[in-house]
């Protein structure tokens, strides 16, 4: 029998319920408001009282209204058809909802039950299988979507039967398994999983050993992120966080991209679902939308569902990872999620930590980041979830709880700088404050030696040193004046400007410059470094400045031209003439 209860207290979306039976932490319940069932989640139990956070507006709710508990945690449905979908934080399909406005208690099916999928069996009767093993495959767009033994199955099973090759809908029983006791268990194309728990069902989680290409020079060249790696982008508003994240979503070398719009602007989601169906994935030539799932809990949607949205997105990534695919999760912004936690903690009158955030914020964030990673599946194949989150630090100050907690959890740090944004030096990723810990991994260094060129990591370090020296020289020039420093300071400064303008800066709105493949990045860095290695002599700093400005201008024109095309080569010739 289900536990029931009645409402006894309401503060905004925190509702206190007097219960008549057992309840579990994170259990889901439905509150009946004049026939409308509103979903809520238990976040605290105190004696016979449960505090629940309601995923909807509580306007009109009364004390005495009835509540029914479901005996399960918040879970989502996994199966073919997740890609190309636009869901809210609770996995309701937003495209099938009626009316212009979102209605309370309107919950829609996440997957199409009528659509037929071409199924090919991969397992055969007699096979011994465990959770996450592959039973069959359907084609989802161009991706091989594996039908797996549900993640929740414990122990070893024997395959009793698998349906033959053919077209079936997601509810068809495609396989029957028998457990250790000989009990028969049917398996369909879908399964459910509670989002707050990490999906296991893999053999091991090794250190990442490959780089995920994004086509953004300041990431791939200077601070590469590994496949299965974690990174975050903090920055004040107006520094280009969203543009950078969208660039990664468009160009990232991944099979599946899940974008979680968490407490951000609705128009940014509109931009994704308007543009992605038109844009082509540079790696496969398919439409970008075919590999994308959008989880959308915009800033005006119920606050409690914001927290759910990032977990929903992560669970979908883990599901595709178990198929041996490369997934990329982009969450914008994790600060909004932290703020949702803060609002609830505040309403529950918990003792606050720094900036009124809950004291366990840091633990929650690192727990979430730890769900990313590369895994070796039971069958020896690999899959990866790469996670990049954005952080919106209050007042642009990086010494705030969300940024500090995330810094402990993420391995790449892409700090966006107000001063670079003010000078329109986009992407405004700080070349000196940002880092990628993966550059210190010997396996990543070996990978780059092999795929880019031998000694690549040292070249990247050289480039960073040139920028650092340029910054120091510039500070001296600012203190002592143009005439007060030796010529070499000016040359150092302008070499760093050369790197800045040609390598660091990139025009995300230019058809050619927006996407810079790693081969082109290698070519340009080698070219720029070869110029930086040269010794130059100038009569005065004016001559130095104008010579470098001309050079930078030509190299920038190269960035705007087709790689190795006619005008590219013409500009290259002018560069060679200048430096001869």
Partner 1 sequence: MANKAYQKVYTQLEGITKATVSLRAKGVSNDELAVVQGKLAQVVRTKGDLVTLQIFSGTEGIPNDSEVTFLGEPPVLKVSDQLAGRFFDAYGHPIDGGPEIEGEPREIGGPSVNPYKRRQPSQLIPTGIAGIDLNNTLVSGQKIPFFADPDQPYNQVMADVALRADVDKIILGGMGLSNDDYLFFKNSFEAAGALDKIICFINTTENPPVERLLVPDMALTAAEYFAVDKNEKVLVLLTDMTLYADALSIVSNRMDQIPSKDSMPGSLYSDLAKIYEKAVQLPTDGSITIIAVTTLNDGDITHAIPDNTGYITEGQLFLRADTDTGKVIIDPFRSLSRLKQLVQNKKTREDHSQVMNASVRLYADAQNAKTKLENGFDLSDYDLRCLSYAKDYARELLAIDVNISITEMLDTAWRLFAKYFSPAETGIKQALIDKYWKS
C-beta closer to partner 1: residue 64 or 182: 64
Q: What is the DSSP letter of 400?
A: S
C-beta closer to partner 1: residue 210 or 342: 342
Characterise 99 by phi-psi region: left (phi > 0), alpha (psi -120 to 50), beta (else).
left
CB of 236: closest distance to partner 1 in angstroms? Answer: 8
Q: What is the DSSP letter of 285?
A: S
C-beta closer to partner 1: residue 174 or 544: 544
Strands 175-178 and 157-162, sheet pairing: antiparallel
Of 235, 238, 187, 228, nearest to 205 by C-alpha is: 228
Q: Rounded CA gap, 533 and 522, in Å?
A: 16
C-beta closer to partner 1: residue 309 or 436: 309
Phi, psi of 148 (to 5 degrees): -115, 165
C-beta closer to partner 1: residue 342 or 522: 342
Q: Rounded CA gap, 246 and 261, in Å?
A: 11
Residue 14: enclosing H or E segment and its boundaries? strand 14-19
C-beta closer to partner 1: residue 350 or 445: 350
Q: What is the DSSP letter of 220?
A: I
C-beta closer to partner 1: residue 158 or 574: 574
C-beta closer to partner 1: residue 85 or 191: 85
CB of 102: closest distance to partner 1 in angstroms? Answer: 5
CB of 505: closest distance to partner 1 in angstroms? Answer: 10
C-beta closer to partner 1: residue 193 or 548: 548
Of 71, 90, 63, nearest to 4 by C-alpha is: 71
CB of 14: closest distance to partner 1 in angstroms? Answer: 10
Q: Rounded CA gap, 338 and 333, in Å?
A: 9
Residues 6+ apart with CB under 8 A from 510: 560
CB of 358: closest distance to partner 1 in angstroms? Answer: 11
Residues 6+ apart with CB under 8 A from 204: 375, 376
Q: Rounded CA gap, 366 and 252, in Å?
A: 24
- The maximal CA–CA distance of the chain, rounded, in angstroms, is 90
CB of 40: closest distance to partner 1 in angstroms? Answer: 14
C-beta closer to partner 1: residue 420 or 520: 420
SS3 202: coil
CB of 163: closest distance to partner 1 in angstroms? Answer: 34
Q: Rounded CA gap, 69 and 92, in Å?
A: 20
Residue 50: enclosing H or E segment and its boundaries? strand 49-54
CB of 437: closest distance to partner 1 in angstroms? Answer: 28
Give yes or no for a contact between 51 and 15, defined as CB atoms under 8 angstroms apart.
yes
CB of 199: closest distance to partner 1 in angstroms? Answer: 27
SS3 504: helix
Please name every residue paired with 15 in a beta bridge, in sequence order, or none if there are none: 10, 52
CB of 66: closest distance to partner 1 in angstroms? Answer: 14
C-beta closer to partner 1: residue 274 or 370: 274
Give yes or no for a contact between 256 and 320, defined as CB atoms under 8 angstroms apart.
yes
CB of 60: closest distance to partner 1 in angstroms? Answer: 5
Find how far residue 513's CA is from the centre of its chain: 23
């Amino acid at each position: 029998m289900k536990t029931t209860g009645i409402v006894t207290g309401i503060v905004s979306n925190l509702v206190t319920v007097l219960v008549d039976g057992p309840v579990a932490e994170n259990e889901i319940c439905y509150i009946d408001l004049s026939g409308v069932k509103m979903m809520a989640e238990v976040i605290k139990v105190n004696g016979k009282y449960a505090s629940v956070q309601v995923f909807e507006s509580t306007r009109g709710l009364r004390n005495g209204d009835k509540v029914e508990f479901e005996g399960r945690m918040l879970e989502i449905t996994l199966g073919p058809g997740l890609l190309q979908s636009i869901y809210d934080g609770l996995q309701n399909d937003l495209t099938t909802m009626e009316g212009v406005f979102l209605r309370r208690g309107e919950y829609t099916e996440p997957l199409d039950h009528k659509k037929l999928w071409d199924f090919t069996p991969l397992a055969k009767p007699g096979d011994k299988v465990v959770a996450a093993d592959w039973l069959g495959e359907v084609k989802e767009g161009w991706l091989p979507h594996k039908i797996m033994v549900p993640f929740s199955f414990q122990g070893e099973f024997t395959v009793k039967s698998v349906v033959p090759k053919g077209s079936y809908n997601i509810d068809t029983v495609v396989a029957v398994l028998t457990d250790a006791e000989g009990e028969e268990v049917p398996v369909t194309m879908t399964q459910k999983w509670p989002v707050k728990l990490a999906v296991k069902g893999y053999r091991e989680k090794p250190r990442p050993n490959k780089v995920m290409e994004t086509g953004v020079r300041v990431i791939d060249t200077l601070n590469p992120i590994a496949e299965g790696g974690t990174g975050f982008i903090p920055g004040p508003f107006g520094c280009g966080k969203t543009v950078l994240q969208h660039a990664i979503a468009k160009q990232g070398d991944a099979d599946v991209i899940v974008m979680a719009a968490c407490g951000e602007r609705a128009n940014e989601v509109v931009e994704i679902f308007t543009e992605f169906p038109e844009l082509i994935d540079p790696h496969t030539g398919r439409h970008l939308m075919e590999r994308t799932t959008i989880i959308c809990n915009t800033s005006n949607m119920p606050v409690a569902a914001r927290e759910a949205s990032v977990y929903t997105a992560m669970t979908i990534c883990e599901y595709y990872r178990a198929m041996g695919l490369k997934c990329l999760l982009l969450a914008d912004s994790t600060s909004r999620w932290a703020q949702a936690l803060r609002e609830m903690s505040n309403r529950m009158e918990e003792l606050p930590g720094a900036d009124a955030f809950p004291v366990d914020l840091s633990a929650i964030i690192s727990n979430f980041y730890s769900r990313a990673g590369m895994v070796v599946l039971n069958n020896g194949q690999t899959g990866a979830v790469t996670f990049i989150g954005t952080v919106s630090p209050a007042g642009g100050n990086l010494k705030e709880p969300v940024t500090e907690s995330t810094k402990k959890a993420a391995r790449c740090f892409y700090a966006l700088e107000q001063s670079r944004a003010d000078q329109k030096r986009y992407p405004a990723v700080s070349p000196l404050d940002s880092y990628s810990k993966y550059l210190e991994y010997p396996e990543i260094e070996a990978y780059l030696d092999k795929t880019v060129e031998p000694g690549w990591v040292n070249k990247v370090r050289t480039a960073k040193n040139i920028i650092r020296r340029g910054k120091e020289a510039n500070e001296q020039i600012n203190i002592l004046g143009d005439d007060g420093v030796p010529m070499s300071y000016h040359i150092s400064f302008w070499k760093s400007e050369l790197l800045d303008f040609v390598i660091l800066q990139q025009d995300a709105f230019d058809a050619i410059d927006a996407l810079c493949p790693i081969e082109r990045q290698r070519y340009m860095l080698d070219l720029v470094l070869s110029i930086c290695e040269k010794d130059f002599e100038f009569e005065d700093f004016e001559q130095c400045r104008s010579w470098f400005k001309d050079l930078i201008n030509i190299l920038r024109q190269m960035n705007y031209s087709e790689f190795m095309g006619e005008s590219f080569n013409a500009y290259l010739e002018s560069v060679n003439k200048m430096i001869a």
